[in-house]
Amino acid sequence: MLSRNEQLSIINLIKKQVVPAIGCTEPMAVALCVAKATKLLGKTPEHIDLRLSANILKNAMGVGIPGTGMVGLPIAIALGALIGRPELQLEVLQDCNEEAVERGKAYIAENRIHIALEKDDDDKLFINVICQADGHEAEARIKTHHTDFVFLRKDGEILQDGLLTGNNEQGNGEQDDEPQLTLHKVYEFATETNLDDLRFILEAKKLNEAVAKKGLEENFGHQLGKTMLTPLGRGFLGDGIFAHVLSNTSGACDARMAGALIPVMSNSGSGNQGICATMPVVTFAEENHNSEEEMIRALTMSHLTAIYIKQSLGSLSALCGCVVASTGSSCGITYLMGGNYEQVTYAVKNMIANLTGMICDGAKPSCSLKLTTGVSTAMLSAMLAMQGKYVSSLEGIVDDDVDQSIRNLTSIGSKGMDVTDRYVLDIMTHKSNNK
């Protein structure tokens, strides 16, 4: 049984990693860094120079920026400088409106923004911004996690060098120690912690259900969620739990990737991961008539499993985040089916045997297709697990030890696919339609 201190440490970890975000987290993190540097400067920058890691560039090139009707980094950067509120973190562009977008377009047209690839830092999440105006300049740097400021400077005065505690706004310069998880610890926490300590996770249900509803009502992106609800979609998928899990999840992703100005509950710095860890569990629980307690515990298990996997994978990688989040949702769904810890481990092994190797080729509307693939695999894996059927250590990268199986997955995603990641970015930046 986990000690009370361990439980509180894990609760704090979840609250740190499961947070609201408006829009794709990579361009929002860039906008946040620009807004912070602008605030330090004290005036609208005349010029903004950015150095970004390859994975930040990859995930920001093709995604819609909420409230703008535009795609990509320039408008996010311009709005970060013009209306960004850094205290809102990943909701930094909450004040976006039509007038601000027009100002942003003019700012871009004046060629005030310069973006370069950062090649000298090994961190896959790296954002450095220098804002200049009237002979003064301010610099801000985010590294490793989407809201972690590690360097701040105003002219020649260094204001911060290193990660601070207390969400970077105060502290003694020491980094918070994250609790080290195992899958059994995740299961134990989700199933045994006092229910009142876990109720906060229902905010993820509230926010992401609202995004799914919006995605199914309006025409966003590839309209995958809506298409599944058409007569043709129902003809293919039916009108049961499986179809509803897929349509709700993909509908939420359709809205988010197209730039709907509505917050989602993210997980580990990704809105899509937050959607994928939430909507399959919520939809299944509601249609399977599970109790509220079962839903809360399943949601906790889903989100915490994703956080656990990301501890060794890193915030950004060559591996599609839906692999991580749908593995979490498979655990949650297995629990909702009445599964025990052993059956949850079976579900994880089935997921790793199936989805490992799915590449991340940036945040974009077609992410809804990948989320749907991940969630359908999550349902299949849970179904097999409940029958005691799982991929054994005789096959592929699956190990008898489920935690080693997870480490095998994350080592492939964080190290083994590095060359793939470089090729993906090269292809994306040299396509014939790029200008």
Which of 147-161, 254-268, 364-378 has the least mean pLDDT?
A: 254-268
pLDDT given at position 217: 94
Which of 21-30, 195-204, 425-434 is predicted most confidently?
195-204
Q: Which residue, 402, 372, 407, 373, is CA-closest to 390?
A: 402
Which amino acid would we find at residue 108?
I
The mean per-residue pLDDT over the stretch 285-303 comes to: 98
What CA–CA distances, in Å, run from 190 to 264, 405, 413? 22, 21, 26
Q: What is the DSSP letter of 234?
A: H
Task: Tell me what the pLDDT averaged over the chain comes to.
Answer: 92
Q: How far apart are alpha carbons 324 and 397 in whole angstroms?
A: 16
Quickly state the pLDDT bin for 176 (edges 50, 70, 90).
Answer: low
pLDDT given at position 21: 86
The mean per-residue pLDDT over the stretch 85-112 comes to: 95
The mean per-residue pLDDT over the stretch 191-195 comes to: 98
pLDDT, tens only, 300-321: 999 999 999 999 998 888 899 9
Which of 107-116, 181-190, 356-365, 379-388 has the least mean pLDDT?
A: 356-365
Which of 7-16, 57-66, 99-108, 230-239 has the least mean pLDDT?
A: 57-66
pLDDT beyond 70 at 361:
yes
The mean per-residue pLDDT over the stretch 283-297 comes to: 98
Strands 47-52 and 113-117, bridge-based pairing: parallel
Confidence (pTM): 0.88
Instruction: Determine if residue 363 is left, alpha or beta; phi over 0 gives left, psi from -120 to 50 gives alpha, anything else beta.
Output: beta
pLDDT beyond 90 at 161:
yes
In terms of Cβ atoms closer than 10 Å to its own Cβ (0-12, 13-18, 19+), residue 432 is exposed
Quickly state the pLDDT bin for 167 (edges 50, 70, 90).
Answer: very low
Quickly state the pLDDT bin for 121 (edges 50, 70, 90).
Answer: low
pLDDT beyond 90 at 422:
no
Quickly state the pLDDT bin for 172 (edges 50, 70, 90).
Answer: very low
